[in-house]
Structure 1
Amino acid sequence: MRTQVAIIGAGPSGLLLGALLHKAGIDAVVIEQRSADYVLGRIRAGVLEQVTVDLLEQAGVAERLHAEGLPHDGIELCFGGARHRIDMHALTGGKRVTVYGQTEVTRDLMQARSAAGLPTVYEAAQVTPHDFDGARPYVTYTAKDGSAQRVDCDFIAGCDGYHGVCRQSVPAVALTTFERVYPFGWLGVLSDTPPVSHELIYSNHERGFALCSMRSPTRSRYYVQCSLDDADAWSDAAFWDELRARLDPEAAESLVTGPSIEKSIAPLRSFVAEPMRFGRLLLAGDAAHIVPPTGAKGLNLATADVGYLAAAIGEHYAERSDAGIDAYSARCLRRVWRAERFSWWFTSLMHKFPETGAFGQRIQAAELDYLVHSVAASTALAENYVGLPLELPLQRG
């Protein structure tokens, strides 16, 4: 098979890249190790920045998002037994975020790709990128029927996640990595219950962090900071009791509980690999960086990478210029490190660390008090939460 771009990974970043390239008249094949059902079954976050919404509009897959997504103009910070609202819409000149599950984003992109008859290979084994340091890269894999396959291409896009093969195929001497692993995780529960609040609640409590989120007006997603033990050690009743204990009295009283649909513990990690380009292999999303979920930046960083990458590849074919390809890594990493900083700061502010102690708790309380009473501090939080701009012109619609 011959194509212009071989995309490894059929998560939202790989599928979005494929959709944007298709809109630009560029051929691409998407190659995925897992089945389509497995990809859709992954439970992930769903707070979308305006940049992500703009890119989904540009790809032509935002109709259901606009019909079912929940626009949010603010968030609430809970500490000291009370909630304080950060009005992001007012503080950022009208910007907001949209709550729409990553699973739904992936579903929309899958359906659009299938409807357009674009090639996607699922359940591909032994996927391997080759010769990306030269002018003729290619990808090999074993198809579901056991046959050996080869895809010749001009570029390889590594959208295959933290554990994927693309970054692992880069020689170690060419890669610099930065990492911080946090000493706790998030126990998350999905339930068919109405959200306790119409906006997200981030809670700093002496027992640990908690987050109240949602997927729809009738489906909620809740988290509590916990040790990295097995989720099976937590009964539904134990989870609801712990969540209620970390909320303000009003939220605790109005919390509607029910059976969990899904329950899991997610570790928290900050990770960046530099650079993000190796010849004709370009990394995007979790293949190059991970952020703790506190600031809701993971999916949004991945889509921003894809926005830069689609523009760069489009420039290569339309203008016979590699300026965008050459600048890709630096452009992405500037935005990545800003998001890493924000996610690290917000995580440090809201969680209980083993070394926090009484002094650390007082420092957190003082910073939170300053944050909600200072317009400048609230604005800085709001600007980062709604998302920094993508420094490229975006087409609408």
Structure 2
Amino acid sequence: MRTQVAIIGAGPAGMFLAHLLRREGIDAMVLERRDRAYVEGRVRAGVLEQVTVDLMHRLRLAGRLQREGLVHGGTNLSLDGRSFRIDMAALTGGSTVTVYGQQEVMRDLFDAAEADDLPIVWNAEDVALAGIDGERPTVSWRADGVDHQVACDYIVGCDGYHGISRAAIPPEVLTTFERVYPFGWLGILADVPPADHELIYANHERGFALASMRSTTRSRYYIQCGLGEDIADWSDDRFWDELCLRLGPDTAAKVTRGPSFEKAIAPLRSFVSEPMRWGRLFLAGDAAHIVPPTGAKGMNLAVSDVTMLGEAFALHYKHGSDAGLDGYSARALARVWKAERFSWWFTSVTHRFPTMDGFDRRIQMAELDYIRGSEAAQRTLAENYVGLPLTGGISSEAV
């Protein structure tokens, strides 16, 4: 068995890359250790940057997105119940974000893969990489009790933070950077209309809260909580009470309460590994970096990674140039670190940290007040929130 590019992981990074390569006529196959229902059912991000929306249009995957996605031209910040709006579209020349859940994105990717006969191996067990430091890498796995192996030109690890791909890079080659936050997000999904037509990020003396949505009839709400909290201690009534307190009376009056059908606590982490290439192995998405969800960058960063990688593979196979592949890690990391910076900053100004004293709190309040009154500060926030453009492309001289 042989293919040009073997992709480990059928999450957003892996599937977007598979479609990009198919569009360029490059053979690729995807190996996934779970089944489709599991991957598609994972509750994840719901805010798409312009780069992600544009890619879905390019790949002709945007039919449902156009019908069901909620386009947001702004977002709202709240300090102790007093809200103000950031007009992202006006500040960025028309750029917006679109609320469309990752589950829906995955459904679109998988439906199109089936229609295009794009090869995906589900329930691949004991996946192992070999020869990535040479010219003939292979991927082996076990499925239905039978051992398999595929030879390939390159391997792309899109298998997440806990996957095998990053672990295949020698530790003396890899440098990792990490910031673990001393709190988590307690989130719920409920089939109730959202409190507002745009997101509200709230900084309250009791902690952070976020009013979000998945549709006009399904709401996604979060509150900051301790990492040691027991989900069993959070009844729906307790959650709604705390959420409304943090959002403030004006927004609380618009909150529709109802039974939650999903409730979980997620830790927050910033993580980057460098480089994102070693030998014939490339990393993309959560295999290489994690961001706290405050800036809604996780899936969008994965998309920008594989967009760059797709361009690099097209340059290699169509024009015989390795400039894109050789420059991929540096180019991707330049954007990754900007997104890490924004996500860290946005988290720092909207959350209560256990070590904060009165001075820290006043600085935080001053920061938000400055944003409220400064168009320049709002423009910086808006530019980062809607997504920085993909830069550093391959020049014509490299072809």
> Is the counterpart of residue 208 in structure 1 residue 207 in structure 2?
yes
Aligned equivalent of 2:314: 314
d(CA) in 2 for partners of 1:59 and 1:100?
17
- Post-superposition Cα deviations, 1:36-89, rounded to whole Å, max 9, x if no partner, equal 111011100111111111111222211111111000000000113211000000
Compute the displacement of 1:349 (Å): 0.4
- TM-score, normalized by length of structure 2? 0.97
CA distance in 2, matches of 1:361, 1:139: 52
Letter in 1 for 2:343: S
Report the alpha carbon displacement of residue 231 of structure 1 after superposing the two structures with TM.
2.0
**Equivalent runs, 1:54-203 vs 2, <5 Å:** 54-143=54-143, 145-203=144-202
Question: Contact (CA 8 Å) 1:190, 1:261: kept in 2 or not?
Answer: yes
8 Å contact kept, 1:269–1:291: yes
Partners of 1:297 and 1:371 lie apart in 2 by 21
What residue identity is the alignment partner of 2:223?
V
CA contact (8 A) 1:224 1:243 kept: yes
SS in structure 1 of the partner of residue 156 of structure 2: strand
Deviation at 1:233, TM superposition (A): 2.4
CA distance in 2, matches of 1:170, 1:232: 40
2:43 is equivalent to residue 49 of structure 1: no
Tell me whether 1:220 sits opposite 2:200 in the alignment: no
The yes-or-no answer on 1:340 pairing with 2:351 is no
Structure 2 alignment gaps of length 5 or more: 395-399
Alpha-carbon distance, 1:98 to partner: 0.6
Measured in 2, the distance between the counterparts of 1:95 and 1:246 equals 29
What is the deviation of 1:10? Answer: 0.3
Q: CA deviation at 1:358?
A: 1.6
Tell me the residue number matched to 2:35.
Answer: 35
Instruction: Give the aligned partner of residue 250 of structure 2.
Output: 250
Q: Could you list the per-position Cα deviations for residues 181-224 of structure 1 after superposition, in whole angstroms to 9, with x for gaps in the alignment?
A: 00000001001000000000000000000000000000010000
Task: Verify the 8 A CA contact 1:47 1:99 in the aligned structure 2.
Answer: yes
2:59 is aligned with what amino acid?
Answer: A
Indicate conservation of the 8 Å contact 1:51/1:304, yes or no.
Answer: yes
Which shifted more, 297-306 or 227-236? 227-236
TM-score, normalization by structure 1? 0.98
For residues 135-172 of structure 1, give each alpha carbon's deviation from its aligned partner in whole angstroms, at most 9, with x where no partner exists: 111101111x1100101111101000000000011110
| Partner of residue 285, structure 2 | 285
Query: Any runs of at least 4 consecutive aligned residues in structure 1 with deviations exceeding 6 A, and if so which?
Result: none
**Matched letter for residue 216 of structure 1:** S
Q: How much does 1:357 deviate?
A: 1.8
Report SS of the residue matched to 1:156.
Answer: strand
Q: Percent identity?
A: 63
Shift, 1:130, TM fit: 1.0
Q: Distance in 2 between matches of 1:392 and 1:64?
A: 31
The residue that corresponds to 1:16 in the other structure is: 16
Q: In structure 1, how many angstroms separate the alpha carbons of the residues matched to 2:230 and 2:130? A: 38
The alpha carbon displacement at 1:355 in A equals: 1.1
Q: Which residue of 1 aligns with 2:363?
A: 363
Equivalent AA in structure 1 for residue 77 of structure 2:
L
RMSD: 1.1
Number of aligned residue pairs: give it. 393
Query: CA offsets, 1:97-139, max 9 Å, x none?
Result: 0110011001100010011111101111111111111111110
CA distance in structure 2 between the partners assigned to 1:189 and 1:207 by the alignment: 18
CA distance in 1, matches of 2:324, 2:264: 40
1:336-380 Cα offsets, whole Å, 9 max, x none, are 000000000000000000111221111111110001100111110
Give the Cα–Cα distance (whole angstroms) in 2 for the partners of residues 151 and 373 of structure 1: 58
Secondary structure of the 1:261 match is: strand
- In the TM superposition, residue 296 of structure 1 has moved relative to its aligned partner by 0.4
CA distance in 1, matches of 2:391, 2:9: 25
Q: What amino acid is aligned across from residue 163 of structure 1 in structure 2?
A: H
The residue identity in structure 1 corresponding to 2:194 is P
Give 2:330's aligned residue. 330
Residue in structure 1 matched with residue 397 of structure 2 by the alignment:
none
Stretch of structure 1 that moved more, 33-42 or 339-348 = 33-42
Q: What is the rounded CA distance, in whole Å, between the counterparts of 2:108 and 2:233 in structure 1?
A: 35
- After superposition, give the CA deviation of every residue in 1:303-328 in whole Å (9 maximum; x if it has no partner): 00010000001111000010000000
Instruction: Give unpaired runs (5+ residues) of structure 1.
Output: none
**1:49 alignment partner AA:** E
Question: What is the alpha-carbon distance in structure 2 between the residues aligned to residue 129 and residue 62 of structure 1?
Answer: 34
Q: For 1:2-30, what per-residue CA distance to the aligned partner results, in whole angstroms no more than 9, with x for missing partners?
A: 11110000001100100010011011100
Asked if structure 2 preserves the Cα contact closer than 8 Å seen for 1:308 and 1:392, the reply is no
